[in-house]
């Protein structure tokens, strides 16, 4: 299951910098993960200071 970013996101961008396939982009008020590009590696989840990336 691909990761998605919950409403806990504080738009710090830490997750986007760690994504090895560039699946994360800045959205309106929070970052978004492209489910078709996500390889489910968990790098975003382990980097996020608020735990916003979660598996769907």
Which are the contacts of 31, defined by CB distance < 8 A and separation ≥ 6?
5, 9, 11, 13, 15, 16, 24, 25, 52
Cβ neighbour number for residue 28 with a 10 Å cutoff = 6
pLDDT attached to residue 13 = 97
pLDDT value for 23: 98
What pTM did the predictor assign?
0.92
Class of domain 3-55: alpha beta
C-beta of residue 26 within 8 angstroms of C-beta of residue 13: yes
**Residues 1-56: tens digit of each pLDDT:** 899 999 999 999 999 999 999 999 999 999 999 999 999 999 999 999 999 999 98
């Amino acid at each position: 299951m691909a990761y998605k970013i919950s409403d806990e996101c504080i738009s710090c961008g830490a997750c986007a910098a760690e994504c090895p396939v560039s699946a994360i982009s800045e959205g309106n008020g929070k970052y978004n993960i492209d489910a078709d590009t996500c390889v489910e590696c968990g790098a975003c989840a382990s980097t996020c200071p608020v735990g916003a990336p979660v598996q769907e």
